[in-house]
Amino acid sequence: MTTCGEVLVGLLEAYGIDTVFGIPGVHTVELYRGLPATRLRHITPRHEQGAGFMADGYARACGRPAACFIISGPGLTNIATALGQAYADSVPLLVISSVNNSHELGLGEGRLHELPSQRNLMAGLTAFSHTLLRPDELPEVLAHAFAVFHGARPRPVHIELPLDVITTPADHVRRQIVAPLARPGPAADVIAAAAELLHGARRPLVVLGGGAQDAASQARALIERLGALTVTTINGMGILPPEHPLCLGSTLSQPPVLEELAAADVVLAVGTELGETDTLMFDSRLALGGRLIRIDVDPGQLTRNALPEIAILSDAGMALQALERELEDYEIDKAPATSRAQTLREQSQRLLDKRQRLHQRFMAVVQQALPGVIVVGDSTQPVYSANLFYRPERPRSYFNSSTGYGTLGYALPAALGAKLARPERPVVALIGDGGLQFTVGELATAVELALPLPILLWNNRGYSEIKRYMAERSIPQIGVDIYTPDFLTIARGFGCRAERAESLEQLRDLLHQSRQEAGPTLIEIDEEAALGRW
C-alpha cells in the first residue's frame, strides 16, 4: 500500500522540488515515510519561521520554489510571518501542513494543535490555501500550486492534509504531473500602441521591478534601443549591470531622480507595484509628469498606485522583447541621456550622509572580497542605506526584508536557503543585533550543514533606527535600548567561528578566510567604532 503522504513526496520530486525545510512532529511524521524513496533533501531548521525564511531565500536566489513540511497549529502560526514576507515580495513557496482528522475539523473539541480554521488563517498570506479531503484531489491541487509558481504572479501556497488523509491508501492516484505553464504573452495591438507612445517620447524613463528580474537581457535591449534612463526597485537591482551608462540604480526616492521622473514624457514601469516599499517613499506617492505604460503578469497590479494609459498584461520578458522588435527601426542619439544619467548619479551620491557613506565603504569591501556575492539583508541600518546605492552585478544577488512586509530576523535563515540553492556562489547574511536575536537559533542549522557562510552583524546595541525615528518626533524613547548579549561567545557556543572586524582591512581578510571555513563565520562590526575609525 502507498499512502497519500508517500504519493505527495513523489509528486513534489516530479515537479522539481529538491529541498524540504521542516521540523518533524507527531502530526507530520507520516509525510516523512516516503522521503527515502526520493532525492528530496530535508533540512531541519530550529523554528518554523526559520523554515519559511530559508525557503524564501532559496527561491529568491535561484527562482525555483522549495517546500516546507509544517505541523498543525503552532507550526502554522510560527511560519505565518515568513509567508507574509514572501507574499509581499512575490516569492514562490509551498507549505505542506498537517491538520486534525477530517471528521474533527471545526468542532472545537480541544484536540492537539487545534485551531478553528487553519485554512482560513493561511488564506490571507497565500495565493490560495486548500484542505485536501481525499487523496484523489492531490494531483489537481499540486498542479494548481505549480501553475501559480510558473504561470502567474508567484506567491506562497498552503496545502493542508488531515491526519487520516495522509495515511489513506493512494495507489490509484495519478502520478503524472502537468507540464509547467507558459506565462501569458502580450496582445499585439497593445504592444503596437505602447511602441507608438515610446517612439514619440523625447525623454522616456524606465522603472524595473522584481517582476523583471528574469528578463535582464530583454530589458537591456529595449532600454538601449530607447536610450532611456532606468531606475530599479530594490527587488529589481542587478537587472542592468552596475556600469551601464543609462542605469541610475535604485535611487527612485532621491530628489534629483524624482525630478527626472516628473520631467519624463513617457514612463515604462515593468513588474513593479510602484508602492511605498518599491519606491522608498513612505509619506507620498510618485508624481508622474508624463504618460504611463505598465507591464505586469498580475492584472490586479496593473491599476494599483498609478493608473496607466496603456496596461500590458504579460510576462515581462515577452512584453519587453515584443516592444523592442516593434521599435527595431527606431534610432536616437543616446548621448544626452547618458550625460543626464551621469549627472543624476553624481547628485545622488552627494546626497548620501556620513553614515550612509560609511555603509557604502563597508559594502564595497564585501563586493570586492567576495566577487559574485549574494547579499541577504535584514531590517538594519546598512541595508537601509544599501537600498539607495548598492549595485549588484546581476539579478537575484541582493534582497532583504526591509521591503514589502518588513520583518526582522530574516537575513540569517534566508541566507542559509540562498546558499543551499546556489552553493557555487558566495552568500552573505547582513543583520543587526536586534534582528539576530529573533532567529539566532539558526546558527545551529548553519553549523549542522557546514555552510561557509559569513554573517555580518552590525551591532548598534538596540533598535537604533526606531530610536532615531522616535527622537525626531519627540516621542519618549522607550523599548529601544535593549540588552546586548556577547554575540561572539554565543556564536562560538553554537560552533561558529566568531571575530570582530576592527577595520575595513580586517573585514576584507575575514571575508576571504570565511570562504575556506567548514561552517559559518560571525563577523561583528561595532557601529560606534566603525563611525570613529572607518
**What would the grid cell of residue 450 be?**
557546514
From residue 288, alpha-carbon distances to 20, 257, 285, 307, 320 in Å are: 44, 12, 9, 10, 21
144 close to 94: Cβ distance less than 8 angstroms? no
CA–CA distances in Å: residue 289 to residues 98, 228, 422: 52, 16, 42
Distance CA 32, CA 34 (A): 6
pLDDT tens string 73-93: 999 999 999 999 999 999 999
Structure pTM? Answer: 0.96
Position 106 scores a pLDDT of 86
Q: What H or E segment, with its residue span, contains residue 41?
A: strand 41-43
Q: Is the pLDDT of residue 320 over 90?
A: yes
pLDDT of 33 above 80: yes
- Average pLDDT of 91-96? 98
What mean pLDDT do residues 32-48 have?
A: 97
In the block, cell 548598534 appears at 460
Is the distance from CB of 255 to CB of 249 less than 8 angstroms? Answer: no
Residue 331's CB: how many other CB atoms inside 10 A? 9
Task: Tell me if 517 sits within 8 A of 487, measured CB to CB.
Answer: no
Q: What is the arithmetic mean of pLDDT over 436-458?
A: 97
The CA distance from 457 to 102, in Å, is 46
296, 302 contact by CB (below 8 A): yes
State pLDDT tens for residues 165-176. 999 999 999 999
7 has pLDDT over 90 = yes
pLDDT at 479 over 90: yes
The radius of gyration of the chain from alpha carbons, rounded to an integer in Å, stands at 24
Mean pLDDT of the chain: 96
Q: What Å distances lie between residue 135 and 73, 142, 160, 167, 414, CA to CA?
A: 22, 11, 12, 9, 32
pLDDT over threshold 90, residue 302: yes
- Are 56 and 416 within 8 A, CB to CB? no
Looking at the DSSP bridge assignments, the partners of residue 399 are: 376
| Cα–Cα distance for residue pair 129/72, rounded to 1 Å | 14
Please report the domains of the chain, with CATH numbers, ordered by start residue. Answer: 4-166 (3.40.50.970), 188-349 (3.40.50.1220), 354-533 (3.40.50.970)
Model confidence pLDDT, tens digit, residues 338-371:
999 999 999 999 999 999 999 999 999 999 999 9
- Measured N-to-C along each axis, helices 188-199 and 316-326 cross at an angle, to the nearest 10 degrees, of 60
pLDDT value at 264 more than 90: yes
Q: Residues 252, 276: contact at Cβ < 8 Å? A: no
pLDDT given for residue 85 in this prediction:
97
State the burial class of residue 425 (Cβ atoms within 10 Å of its Cβ: 0-12, 13-18, 19+): middle
Cα distance between residue 404 and residue 414, in whole Å: 15
Q: Which pLDDT band, with edges at 50, 70 and 90, does 297 fall under?
A: very high
Cell 537604533 sits on residue: 464
CA atoms of 206 and 227, how far apart (whole Å): 10
DSSP sequence for 12-28: HHHTT--EEEE---TTT
Q: Is the Cβ–Cβ distance between 51 and 79 less than 8 Å?
A: yes
Which residues, other chains included, contact 115 with Cβ-Cβ below 8 Å and sequence gap of 6+?
72, 73, 76, 77, 121
Among residues 453, 454, 471, 449, the alpha carbon closest in space to that of 462 is found at 471
Query: In this model, does residue 180 exceed pLDDT 90?
Result: no
Above 80 in pLDDT, residue 281? no
Using left for φ > 0, alpha for ψ between -120 and 50, and beta otherwise, residue 436 falls in alpha
pLDDT bracket for residue 286 (50, 70, 90): confident
